[in-house]
């Protein structure tokens, strides 16, 4: 009987424990710890083995002190990154020649003698002679120029280095001649230059090389050449005013244009010089400038033509409307702010560029403004001017103007919003006076003239 009673007690205890475990599993995780404690209370207590505490690092990192380095890392695109100061960048050796305009005594025609033999275009840098041997029957089909040269120079043990490849794919059949002549034919066909280092036996290919253009000791001529080079899109230029030279990087196309320009001086070309004034108008009453009042302020016929561009208008006037008289007229309606004054020179039938910001104050916000001009002299001293006004984001407006020597033209109606200036009804005005420089070839020693 006692044995049966003990068995009953054992079964009852097991049932109780199993019930506790089932309840523990079924409960929410939040109550898991409490249910486990309840189940443990019903089970016989088992003494726990002592737990040895884990060893902790001896360093107290919370109380440690670190020296803060005086280093600030800046993102490469950070506008606050250290750069050359504006004062240093503003130093331009052309400024005394380019940014001074005498509006009171303008010489409409200037005769300028020069020594044609002074023109030279030379390539800079080392370029050793190539090995001398004959090439016969060299043929390839639609192969990149660098690969064609690798194939050609392999037997000579010359390595090819490409500075800015890949280059144009070309074809050739049965090339023959001196090794250097064949290499030149391939390079010219792909519009690339080559430079040979005989010591290391490396032939380096590139689209552009550094060149120096030597000019006659004449300031108007070198200014005109600088403006043509800038008109070709080259801005990284070094001018040496001691030996009248211009150093720049040029591709094959630009080199050919410069050589063509030098050749044109064999025929004593005419240069067209433009005196330029750029100013802004801020109307007193924030109303449109009444340009029609010009017709009352000056005699009829003083304004000879008026034409409309993509934006703005251009007026051709006689010299009765000078820069001084124009600003007197406008001063009754608006505050006048001079932005830039300067001159640039265009060889006949060439494209030149005048960067307005080169002759402006830093606060005038004219850094990205440019005037591009392509000009020609026609019969009876008529001047045809193709004028384009550009900003950093692209072309602003364009005009084709035919004027006579002694006439001026002014571009009006250019909202200042085009140049990032928010001022209601304000405008930018461009006033231009074309002049002629007739060149004359001579062998005499020249005196600098401007």
Residue 170 domain-assigned? no
SS3 369: coil
Task: Check pLDDT > 70 for residue 446.
Answer: no
More confident call, 224 vs 9: 224
Structure tokens at 183: 């290499």
Spatial CA neighbour of 340 closest among 434, 430, 225, 450: 430
Secondary structure (DSSP) of 429-441: EEEEEEEEEEEEE
Structure letter (DSSP) for residue 310:
S
Return the number of other C-beta atoms located less than 10 Å from residue 397's C-beta: 20
Are 401 and 309 in contact, with CB atoms under 8 Å apart? no
Q: Whole-angstrom distance between the N-terminal and C-terminal Cα of the chain?
A: 137
Q: How far apart (Å, rounded) are the C-alpha atoms in residues 2 and 5?
A: 5
Give the model's pLDDT for residue 150.
96
Residue 382 domain-assigned? yes
Q: What is the pLDDT of residues 118-174, one digit of tens each?
A: 999 999 999 999 999 999 999 999 999 999 999 999 989 999 999 898 999 999 999
Q: Which domain holds residue 305?
A: 97-112+269-441
Q: What is the pLDDT of residues 204-255, one digit of tens each?
A: 999 999 999 999 999 999 999 999 999 999 989 999 999 999 999 999 999 9
C-alpha neighbours within 13 Å on the C-beta side of residue 311: 13
* pLDDT above 90 coverage of the chain, percent: 66
Task: Check pLDDT > 70 for residue 393.
Answer: yes
Structure tokens at 54: 């884990």
Give the model's pLDDT for residue 47.
47
Give the model's pLDDT for residue 445.
57
Average the pLDDT over 86-100 and give the result: 90
Q: How confident is the model at residue 188 (pLDDT cuts 50, 70, 90)?
A: very high
Residue 319 domain-assigned? yes
Task: Check pLDDT > 90 for residue 78.
Answer: no
Residue 175 domain-assigned? no
More confident call, 4 vs 438: 438
Give the model's pLDDT for residue 392.
86
Q: How confident is the model at residue 444 (pLDDT cuts 50, 70, 90)?
A: low
Spatial CA neighbour of 386 closest among 368, 373, 370: 373
Q: How far apart (Å, rounded) are the C-alpha atoms in residues 220 and 226?
A: 10
Task: Check pLDDT > 70 for residue 88.
Answer: yes
For the entire predicted model, the pTM comes to: 0.76
* pLDDT above 70 coverage of the chain, percent: 81
Residue 385 domain-assigned? yes
Give the model's pLDDT for residue 172.
95
Relative to beta strand 245-250, strand 159-162 is unpaired
Task: Check pLDDT > 50 for residue 12.
Answer: no
Residue 282 domain-assigned? yes
Residue 123 domain-assigned? no
Task: Check pLDDT > 50 for residue 21.
Answer: no
Q: How many domains does the chain have?
A: 1
Task: Check pLDDT > 50 for residue 41.
Answer: no
Give the model's pLDDT for residue 3.
44
Q: How confident is the model at residue 339 (pLDDT cuts 50, 70, 90)?
A: very high
**Cis-peptide into 338, omega within 30 deg:** no
Residue 342 domain-assigned? yes
Chain mean pLDDT for the chain: 84
Task: Check pLDDT > 70 for residue 37.
Answer: no
Give the model's pLDDT for residue 362.
75
Structure letter (DSSP) for residue 67:
P
Q: Would you give the distance in Å from CA 391 to the centre of its chain?
A: 12
């Amino acid at each position: 009987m006692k044995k049966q009673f003990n068995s009953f007690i054992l079964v009852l205890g097991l049932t109780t424990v199993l019930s506790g475990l089932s309840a523990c599993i079924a409960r929410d995780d939040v109550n898991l710890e409490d249910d486990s404690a309840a189940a443990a209370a019903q089970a016989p207590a088992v003494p726990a083995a002592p737990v040895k505490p884990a060893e902790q690092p001896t360093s107290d990192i919370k109380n440690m002190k670190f020296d803060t380095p005086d280093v600030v890392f800046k993102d490469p695109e950070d506008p606050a990154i250290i750069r050359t100061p504006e004062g240093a960048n503003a130093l331009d050796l052309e400024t005394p020649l380019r940014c001074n305009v005498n509006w009171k005594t303008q010489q409409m025609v200037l005769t300028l003698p020069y020594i044609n033999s002074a023109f030279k275009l030379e390539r800079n840098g080392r370029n050793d002679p190539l090995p001398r041997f004959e090439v016969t029957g060299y043929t390839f089909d639609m192969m990149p120029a660098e690969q064609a040269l690798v194939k050609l120079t392999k037997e000579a043990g010359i390595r090819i280095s490409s500075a800015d490849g890949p280059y144009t794919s070309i074809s050739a059949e049965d090339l023959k001649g001196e090794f250097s002549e064949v290499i030149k034919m391939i390079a010219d066909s792909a519009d690339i230059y080559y430079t040979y280092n005989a010591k290391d036996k490396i032939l380096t290919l590139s689209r552009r090389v550094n060149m120096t253009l030597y000019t006659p000791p004449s300031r108007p001529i070198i200014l005109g050449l600088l403006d043509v080079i800038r008109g070709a899109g080259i801005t990284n230029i070094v001018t040496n005013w001691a030996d009248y030279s211009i150093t720049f990087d040029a591709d094959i196309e630009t080199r050919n244009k410069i050589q063509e320009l030098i050749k044109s001086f064999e025929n004593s070309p005419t240069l067209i010089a433009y005196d330029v004034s750029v100013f802004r108008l801020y109307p007193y009453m924030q109303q449109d400038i009444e340009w029609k009042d010009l017709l009352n302020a000056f005699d009829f016929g003083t304004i000879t033509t008026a034409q409309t561009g993509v934006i703005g208008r251009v007026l051709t006037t006689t010299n009765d409307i000078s820069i001084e008289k124009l600003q007197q007229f406008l001063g009754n309606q608006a505050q006048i702010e001079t932005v830039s004054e300067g001159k640039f020179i265009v060889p006949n039938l060439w494209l030149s560029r005048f960067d307005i910001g080169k002759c402006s104050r830093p606060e005038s916000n004219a850094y990205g403004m440019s005037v591009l001009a392509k000009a020609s002299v026609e019969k009876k001293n008529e001047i045809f001017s193709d004028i384009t006004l550009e900003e950093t984001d692209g072309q602003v407006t364009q005009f084709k103007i035919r004027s006579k020597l002694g006439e001026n033209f002014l571009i009006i109606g250019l909202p200042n919003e085009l140049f990032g200036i928010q001022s209601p009804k304000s405008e930018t005005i461009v006033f231009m006076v074309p002049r002629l420089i007739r060149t004359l070839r001579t062998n005499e020693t020249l005196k600098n003239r401007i």
